[in-house]
Amino acid sequence: MTTDFTKAGAIRLPNRRVHRPGTDFVIRRTTRFIGSLWVLVTASFLMIHLIPGDPVRAALGLDAPPDLVASRRAQLGLDRPLWRQYVDYVTGLAHGDLGTSTLSRVPVSQIVQDRLPATVEIAVLSFVVVMLIAIPVGLLAAVHTRGGRNRGLDLGFAATTAFAAAIPEFLLAVGLVYVFAVELQWFPVAGRQGPDSYVLPVLALSLGSAGALARVVRVEILAVLDQDYVRTARAKRLPARLIYLRHALPNALTGTLTLGGLLIMGLIAGTVLVESVFAWPGLGTTIVQSILQKDYPVVQAVVLVYGTGVLLVNLLVDLLLAILDPRSAIREA
């Protein structure tokens, strides 16, 4: 009898070395990334040329002396044929040459190098804060509102997170400045000196996303808690902590990560406004100033940096998803 079982099972044991759709997926995603990057580079190149009329005249004013206009045009390379400019632009990028600021005459790559860290800092910190808030809050909300219990908590959670998600970052920033910097004077109003100056910008960037993500975590966890394997975990009489953290949470990460990726991209864009509220010396304030001062090479470069950041996050999330949930890669193929 026993041998029969073993044989039957041995035949049915699936072969582990089957076709792996993983590599296909990575290739496809990388191709899409490169394609999007090309579109981004081309768009940022064309930006100057899409400006109706003459960008140099637009920047210098209509009564600028003609020789200044001409020299500025030459400096920007606008006097050469379009295809030539494009080739120069792309080869320049390949060598890390982002052009020169028309205002300060500083190489744009230098400006980016100076300003990028401040922006990355608050973006990464905000992302961490979003996760630290959203996952526990969403998990707790799911556990305590499951099966229609705790209606009051359910409503409170829904209202709070919806409100947090509905207020745009810069308004939240203004509100935070008023309460915590002006009234309570716990944190500085603006600038980047010392750890406490990070608190308000990071909160302004993260609270809205945390609210939105907490809602997703709750919905995902609720769906997982209805699964049979959670019933199995309960039948094993595991402590609640293990049921939620070990059996429910890991299976709810896919949906969380999908929205999480979108939120990081929103975070990256959100830095533009939040930096302006706090006079944060990052790329966000740089692009706003450059747009207002019509310093086009800087604008081009910052758009490029932001766009590349977004595309990279996109790619990373897709690959992470494929690792966490191999079905997502197969489903697409």
User: Which residues in the 118-137 window bind other proteins by CB under 8 A?
Assistant: none
197-226: contacts with other proteins (CB under 8 A)? none
Tell me: does residue 186 bind other proteins (CB under 8 A).
no
Please identify which residue in 78, 93, 120, 174 interacts with other proteins, judged by CB under 8 A: 174
Question: Is residue 211 within 8 Å of residue 164, measured between CB atoms?
Answer: yes
Cβ of 249: how many Cβ atoms within 10 Å? 19
Kindly tell me which of 134 and 303 has the beta carbon lying closer to other proteins.
303
Q: Any idea which residue has 């990388």 for tokens?
A: 30
Cβ of 177: how many Cβ atoms within 10 Å? 20
Please identify which residue in 13, 62, 94, 184 interacts with other proteins, judged by CB under 8 A: 13
3-state secondary structure of 254: helix
Please identify which residue in 20, 30, 34, 39 interacts with other proteins, judged by CB under 8 A: 39
Cβ of 157: how many Cβ atoms within 10 Å? 22
Closest distance to other proteins from the beta carbon of 259 (Å): 14
Q: How open is the CA angle 162-164-166, to the nearest 5 degrees?
A: 65
Tell me: does residue 245 bind other proteins (CB under 8 A).
no
Closest distance to other proteins from the beta carbon of 262 (Å): 9
Tell me: does residue 43 bind other proteins (CB under 8 A).
yes
Tell me: does residue 251 bind other proteins (CB under 8 A).
yes
CA-based nearest residue to 252, from 277, 229, 271, 275: 229
289-308: contacts with other proteins (CB under 8 A)? 291-292, 296, 299, 303, 306-307
Enter the tokens of residue 5: 């079982």
146-165: contacts with other proteins (CB under 8 A)? 146-149, 151
Closest distance to other proteins from the beta carbon of 16 (Å): 7
261-280: contacts with other proteins (CB under 8 A)? 265-266, 268-270, 272-273, 276-277
Closest distance to other proteins from the beta carbon of 333 (Å): 17
Which region among 90-98, 111-119, 122-130, 242-250 touches other proteins (by CB under 8 A)? Answer: 242-250
- Say how many residues touch other proteins, by CB under 8 A: 75
Cβ of 55: how many Cβ atoms within 10 Å? 20
User: Would you give the DSSP letter of residue 260?
Assistant: H
Enter the tokens of residue 27: 């290739």
Burial of 61 (0-12, 13-18, 19+ CB in 10 A): exposed
Which region among 71-79, 98-106, 109-117, 235-243 touches other proteins (by CB under 8 A)? Answer: 235-243
Tell me: does residue 234 bind other proteins (CB under 8 A).
yes
Residues 6+ apart with CB under 8 A from 322: 22, 25, 26, 328, 329
Interface pattern 81-100 for other proteins (x via CB under 8 A)? --------------------
Closest distance to other proteins from the beta carbon of 307 (Å): 6
Residues 6+ apart with CB under 8 A from 219: 142, 255
Tell me: does residue 76 bind other proteins (CB under 8 A).
no
Please identify which residue in 30, 178, 312, 323 interacts with other proteins, judged by CB under 8 A: 178
Q: In 85-115, which positions are buried (b, 16+ CB within 10 angstroms) versus exposed (e)?
A: bbeebeeebeeeebbbbbeeeebbbebbeeb
Tell me: does residue 17 bind other proteins (CB under 8 A).
no
